[in-house]
Structure 1
Amino acid sequence: MAEELLNALAKIDDLKVAARTSAFSFKGKNPNVSEIGRVLNVNSVLEGSVRKSGNRLRIMVQLVNAADGYHLWSERYDREMRDIFDVQDEITLSVVDALKLKLFGKKKAAVLKRGTDNTEAYQLYLKGRFHWNKRTKESLKSAVEYFNQAIAVSPGYALAYAGLADCYVLFTNYGVAPPGESYPKARAAAQKALEIDATLGEALNTLATVKQDYDWDFEGAKRDYQKAISLNPNYPTTHQWYGEFLAQMGCKDESVAELRNALELDPLSLIISKVLGGTLLFARRYDEAIAQTKKVLEMDENFAPAHSDLGWCFTKQGIYDEAIAEFQKGVTLTNGSPSQLEGLAYAFVQTGKRSEAQKILEQLKQRQRSEYVDSGFFAIIHAGLGEKDKAFTSLEKSYQEHSAGMVFLKADPRFDDLRDDPRFQELLRRVGFTP
């Protein structure tokens, strides 16, 4: 229920709503309302509880002024489980009224639009989102199962198709499936969601990512990202993915600004905080990137992607022992993620441990026989070893695979060893960049 209320309120143009990752971080805790307001940078806090007995629900809700703890509105609902969606509509409109906001006509209809009236499908969708937010290889597979179950129960459920698209668009990044398998599935699911609901910004955001990562249609991706933001300006993932796109296009200042927009909407999001650090890394603002990435690890020291970014920051600054330590932590936490091993191998080379780097290279080659490993990882290691011909052979394979790694070529500092080679400039042109 909390997620559905959040999604409904986020559709109101004049209302800034903290995203689920940040808002839900307080679930099960008992913090001071003023502290919640300070951390999330919001003026009001909506809190409540749900008790279930058989098919009966008792829902307690209150809207509190974060500055002084004053209750702006409160209500108790005793209803049947089948009435859950009606209760959500009532709560949404009561919050709008308490905040003295005005909703008329199409705007009111958009806020109250339901993805489904089927409670079983809705619960399956929420389980899918829960697993999607974990961002692991296995959790993404689980999320796909839940979204497919939701669709089976409610075939016209656009949000479930959008969730399915969000899973498939991440499959390649997490080594679940190669680009030629995952991105067409992501496109089909996103397009199906938009056929059902053309105003669904979440699905358009994913379609933009397919155009960016797989089609290399950068102008089309930019248009879709911007339209997705206009459809749902409070959805932080669109700001995050658009910020990443801008970084890959070499728009350094704009990308950092967009990531800060995303972080303002979801200040406790690990992935957005990490991506902001990565964007600063792309901008070669290494000290700022290190400071930002350390903030992520203060929130969760076991968040492996942050260790990788920190490792690359240290590598680019010539602090190789610390770089190796960060990559090794990432390798341990991910059970040998190729992206962590790539960085570790590169750092080993810089300290003269070429044989250790060669071992990692062989290990990744063995794994590529049984799982998807982007050939671009090999290119980075070969570049570090000074084996440029082998690096470009690997990049050509990555190009033929239509790897999402190709979109990093223009701005990513990992490719700096190859940047002055005419073959690199030609590859940029083939992908669609202006060298």
Structure 2
Amino acid sequence: MNPYPPHSMIRCFSTTAFSLAVILTCPTSLRAQQAAEPVVAKMEMKLTLGEKVLDTIEKGDLLTVLEVRDKSYLIQTFSGHKGAVANVTVAKLAEAAPIYDELIEKSPEDGRLYTLRASCHWAVGDTEQALADFDKAIEMGYDEGHAFASRGLFHAAMRNYDKAIEDYSEAVRRDPKDAVPLVNRAAVNMSTGKYESAVEDYTRAIELSPDNPILYTQRAIALKLLGKLDEAVAGYDKAIELADKDISTWMGRGFIKFQLGKYEAAIEDFSHVIELSPESAVAINNRGYNYQMLGKESEALADYTRAVELAPKYLLALQNKAWLLTTAKDEMVRDPAKAIATATAACEISQYKDFSDLTLLAAAHGSAGEFETAIGWQEKSLELAMEEQMPIAQKLIALYQEEKPFDPKLLESDPAPEAKPTTQ
């Protein structure tokens, strides 16, 4: 997507002393690619409009890339000006460490330069060296809040969670109006199971950025993990109010409504997802399961079938479809032959190494009156069963030996729909 007006294009040329970027009017015929990682200025550059200098780019400045072209980058400077620079005047972030080496050699007391070089180390995956540079920057007196927040990211990446929390907390102390370290600290609290603390951090971040739907979604996820489902739904409600095209938010709310037993409401949310994304196999499967919970077996089967058509290796949809074909109360829905075929497809995906899938295959054969085969697959499942699953398998074997079909009451739980709320 081109962020510029239809007839506004930027060209650039360089001199030996510095690069001069000039904004001109010309046809928009150059091929553009999607935005890439930031680039670093190799030299001083002047961004101009006609004879007017709009901005000065210093050597070592980090530039946001808006578009990549054959011989240039469309960039945005720290001050917000947009222009173009030739490829030869900048370096990719992962290749820019030598630029900062030179600058640090000239100004070894400038802590900011160490933070910039840390970004280069981060870009190549050298987390430890990036962390060392941030340590050095803070040691040199570069102790702004974002320095601690950035170092916290490196600690979190290295799973030094206690140190990450310390840095984020220091960043919050130094700049209490910055929501970013609060959100990052909340993410660490989520990773370590401290959901109450995460809720507190997201709440403070929301106070600073009340129009950010992602914050409401993330807090809703934390509330869900605390079992506070009604509060989680309220959070999703607000997120949807702010961004009603976000599929993951509708999915998340739909799943919680399912957990609350509000199946009709869950169906509405999953149906909305399907309107936004007609080929979402997950949403279609989830809606199908909620139809099944309401006893609407025909509607459920139609959704499971469609989900499998869209994603033939979607194991959960195959499992749900096979169980419904095996156990449906509606004789127009129950179909042992199709149940066997669908259960076999599920077993092939799990390579016949999953207790539940083998139990499903046995049940499908049992529903077809093929009890010897059902016994064989259920006995096979015993080889994979955990201790708590053994009694169920043994009861089912006894049932098939009596030439009786599968009894759902023997299972402790039913297959459940899948939802993937966005996590940050």
Using the size of structure 2 for normalisation, the TM-score is 0.47
Q: Which has the higher helix share?
A: 1
The structure number with the bigger radius of gyration is: 2
Structure with the bigger percentage of strand: 2
